[in-house]
Structure 1
Amino acid sequence: MSAPAPKKVYFVSLGCPKNQVDTEVMLGVVRDQGHTLVDSPEDADTLVVNTCGFIEEAKKESIDTILELAQVKAQGEAKRLVVAGCLSQRYPKELADELPEVDNFLGSADQLGLAQVLAEQAPRMAVSPLGRRAYLYDHTTPRQVTGRRHSAYVKIAEGCDRPCAFCIIPKLRGPQRSRTIDSIVREAEQLAENGTREICLVAQDLTTYGTDLEDPRNIEQLLAGLCGVKDLRWIRLHYAFPTTVRDELLTMIAGEPKIATYLDVPLQHVDTDVLKKMRRGYTEKVVRNLVEKLRAQSPYIWLRTTMLVGHPGETEAAFQRLYQFVEEGAIDHLGVFPWSREDGTPSALLPTRVSPELAEERRLALMELQEEIRQERHEEMIDEVIEVMIDGESDESEFLLEGRHEGQAPGIDGKIVLTDGTGKPGDFLKARVTQADANDLVATLAL
């Protein structure tokens, strides 16, 4: 029997940066198996969507995308529709029953299974159970980084052991599984050799990295190894947990030139009673102590966080405590999300619900407040000379460049538009800030 012909594959990747890494692994599988990636679903014979199943809005986006691709399949040349990722992991049987137009389902740890799908040797349902021994990519895994190569995400661990009441992640991703320091450093070396200058480390619980290894390690030891990688300029940290941010980590962030002075810590709330209902394991005092430690560091460490409003039991007084905390201006970058009732989570069973309309009002109030704070902070930066990493041509004009400073992560924290000068992606240049709004800065390279 002859082998199946090479496939033309179209991808859609939804969800978080961790999902992006998973998609890039599947892109590597496509490349290494001799198949071809195409930019249009109409040109493909195989359609793949890597889904997110975290909250209701993400699930809806995933289902809508599946249905859109199913329509393309029905009307065109595509012969196979593959649904991968967290939604498949969460609802394998339900999706299989309700979506007969989908040919294959892969779970959140089944990226390499795409090879069997493309070889037409995989069962329709190929969603693996999750556990301590579930698949986790490493430096030997095929991966094709998407977008601009000078910045890349590196997943240092998968899964989570936290009992947070509102979160479905342990059921989507399994228990925490850390990669070895050697594997992560070797991947960083490979990326740097191919032009990567910034790596963004991601894990659901970055600050408990390595505690599950047979020979336990910690995030500080990992960072020490990564700081030795030639040609890396910024190592950025995403998703630290408030109670495990050690003083040693803050000292490294402030003192090691290669570690970006930036920390992403999802605080979720500040009211102690709400935090207790969320099962976060800390109090308002812990949050404030962490912020004080951050602000005591020199140089300045930029703080990104997310807050969750409308959780069952969030009274008006509790929300006002959160509002006042944000009003104090200690947060540099803020995301706010309304609570979503997720089956299988303890929060879904709690009484004293907050209406979706009120939760959205609270979200908007916090975002409007933070926008005012960011506007003031950005205006204070006018005339400052800062280091900018060039990302490439501006979306606003091919005659402008855009980049980011050390306190801006790719895609979420705004950008710097450069009105003059030249540079290529990955270059680090000095620029003077000339204008500012709540989201972005404008700067000149003519110093």
Structure 2
Amino acid sequence: MSEGKRVTTKVSAEEINRQYKYIEDIKQYNQDIAMKAGKAARYSIETFGCQMNENDSERLAGMLCEMGYSECEVRSDSDLIIFNTCCVRENAEQKVYGHLGALKRLKDTNSKLIIAVCGCMMQQPEVVAHITKTYRHVDIIFGTHNLYKLPELLNTVITTGKTVTDVWDSTGSIAENMPISRKEKIKAWVTVMYGCNNFCSYCIVPYVRGRERSRSLDEIRKEVGELAKEGCKEITLLGQNVNSYGKDLEGDFTFARLLRELDKIEGIERIRFMTSHPKDLSEDLIYAIRDCSKVCEHLHLPVQSGSSKILEDMNRKYTKEKYLGLIDKVKEQIPDIGLTTDIIVGFPGESEEDFRETLEVVSKAEYDMAYTFLYSKRTGTPAAKNPNQVSEDVMKDRFERLLELQNSISLRINNNLLGEEVEVLVEGLSKNSDTTYTGRTRQNKIVNFKGSPDLVGKLVKVKVDTIQTWSLKGRLVQ
């Protein structure tokens, strides 16, 4: 082990057992209340942000179900409301504040209602101070590093009636063997690592999620094996930078090795992952995507900007040329790869020439889809202090031009699939129809088609007969 290497450890079994004791205590409390009130205690969780937040909320839900709570769709009918927050963009924070304000009326009419706020926003001291001062009806405030302590925090509020704030600056430990309640049965998020070491100059994530911490291969393999037994067909491995998996573990662990190990698990049909950082995309990982039969031919590789100058200012640690070289290598090894990316428009100091270089990269890389964002200033990041902020009008103009280019590329790529048969994992009914079913190809393209309930969870062949920019339509091949 190299000198100074930070090694990730597990939260002790004693600490996990302590939380289970609180779970039992609250379960008994809720049973007693239910006997008197004639109804079970109910919870609602509202999640803001990324897939990792979604997965965190599934873990919160798992603990609550063990404590005797049942999920409630209607906020006003809940006995416990949790907001799991995001702070990547300012509008996400403003939404949370708006929702918190609206809860004041509910608290006034139901003094027994417990309100909790957790997640990334809570890792910012100024946010905690603001909530404590302005939203005094909030009962529990906790962060990203101690989600597993929800039973203890909830027990404290129930037994004392006092507000609880428990936010940790950072941690080198991971809590395993806590309950989880997943929203979907066919697909599942599996977090393989937490935190980030990259410190991109626009990003708040390393400050609120902490340093990189990898789960052990055995724990991940165990979780995926259990999912397979439960009938799950597709897993998506999550991490702020999954390519860094294993660097903090003792032994020879890499993300490519993890993919190869999970590829052996029977029952799982598809494996996806996100997000990859270009600076850590190794040849071995490219080969693993190519060689593993269950790993889907889809790579989400955020470029953020096509200008090497802006990339340096962003602290991305690669150049435009290096990035395009990676794209060429990926396409050479995996010709049918589906490529997606993230792009920030209007980063401080971005000139018209810088933006044109982004358009050039988009044209050359030929992404199936790009997730495009206007730069959002995040207090506490180096980019927020940059005096050369781009005006909103310029940002919006560039955003529209980028969107127009990407839409034309997406439509052209989809046109190549007209008349082709594609393999689709059927996920369920489309949102807007009782007869149209939806699923995704291995390249992560959405496909809609007429089907029946017995197809859910199965791999089917669909012949594409209608092309749209963001999705495909087709008919089932018998």
TM-score bucket (shorter structure): over 0.9
The more displaced of 320-329 and 235-244 is 320-329
What letter is aligned with 1:230? E
**Contact preservation (8 Å) 1:45, 1:77:** no
For 1:240 and 1:246, the matched residues in 2 are separated by 10
From 423, 426, 436, the counterpart of 2:467: 436
SS across alignment from 1:360: helix
Query: Which residue of 2 is the match for residue 8 of structure 1?
Result: 42
For 2:351 and 2:190, the matched residues in 1 are separated by 39
Q: CA 1:326–1:362 in structure 2 vs 1: closer, same or farther (change >3 Å)? A: same
Deviations 1:381-440 (A, max 9, x none): 1111111100111223111211110111xxxxx521113566432100111111111011
**Contact preservation (8 Å) 2:324, 2:365:** no
Aligned: 1:83 with 2:117: yes
SS across alignment from 2:105: helix
Q: CA 1:361–1:71 in structure 2 vs 1: closer, same or farther (change >3 Å)? A: farther
TM-score in terms of structure 2 length: 0.88
Q: Percent of aligned pairs with the same residue? A: 26
**Contact preservation (8 Å) 2:306, 2:359:** no
For 1:145 and 1:430, the matched residues in 2 are separated by 27
For 2:237 and 2:203, the matched residues in 1 are separated by 21
From 351, 356, 360, the counterpart of 1:320: 356
Q: CA 1:70–1:109 in structure 2 vs 1: closer, same or farther (change >3 Å)? A: farther
- How far does residue 33 in structure 1 lie from its aligned partner after superposition? 1.6
Query: Which residue of 2 is the match for residue 144 of structure 1?
Result: 181
Matches within 5 A, 1:213-252: 213-252=249-288
- How far does residue 312 in structure 1 lie from its aligned partner after superposition? 0.8
- How far does residue 321 in structure 1 lie from its aligned partner after superposition? 0.8
What letter is aligned with 2:182? V
What letter is aligned with 1:309? V
Query: Which residue of 1 is the match for residue 73 of structure 2?
Result: 39
Larger proportion of helix:
2
Deviations 1:115-140 (A, max 9, x none): 12432258634333233424x343x2
For 2:119 and 2:313, the matched residues in 1 are separated by 29
For 2:98 and 2:430, the matched residues in 1 are separated by 30
Query: Which residue of 1 is the match for residue 246 of structure 2?
Result: 210
What letter is aligned with 2:224? A
For 1:70 and 1:213, the matched residues in 2 are separated by 45
What letter is aligned with 2:179? P
Query: Which residue of 1 is the match for residue 232 of structure 2?
Result: 196
Query: Which residue of 2 is the match for residue 350 of structure 1?
Result: 386
Query: Which residue of 1 is the match for residue 35 of structure 2?
Result: none
For 2:171 and 2:47, the matched residues in 1 are separated by 25
**Contact preservation (8 Å) 1:25, 1:143:** yes
Query: Which residue of 2 is the match for residue 411 of structure 1?
Result: none
Unaligned runs of 5+ in 1: 409-413
From 110, 117, 129, the counterpart of 2:168: 129
Query: Which residue of 2 is the match for residue 419 of structure 1?
Result: 450
Unaligned runs of 5+ in 2: 1-24, 32-40
Q: CA 1:129–1:420 in structure 2 vs 1: closer, same or farther (change >3 Å)? A: closer
Q: CA 1:401–1:358 in structure 2 vs 1: closer, same or farther (change >3 Å)? A: same
SS across alignment from 2:88: coil
The more displaced of 114-123 and 317-326 is 114-123
From 214, 221, 227, the counterpart of 1:185: 221
Q: CA 1:400–1:87 in structure 2 vs 1: closer, same or farther (change >3 Å)? A: same
TM-score in terms of structure 1 length: 0.93
SS across alignment from 1:382: coil
Count of residues paired in the alignment? 439
**Contact preservation (8 Å) 2:194, 2:214:** yes
Query: Which residue of 1 is the match for residue 345 of structure 2?
Result: 309
For 2:463 and 2:452, the matched residues in 1 are separated by 12
SS across alignment from 1:280: coil
RMSD: 1.9
What letter is aligned with 1:439? W
What letter is aligned with 2:380? G
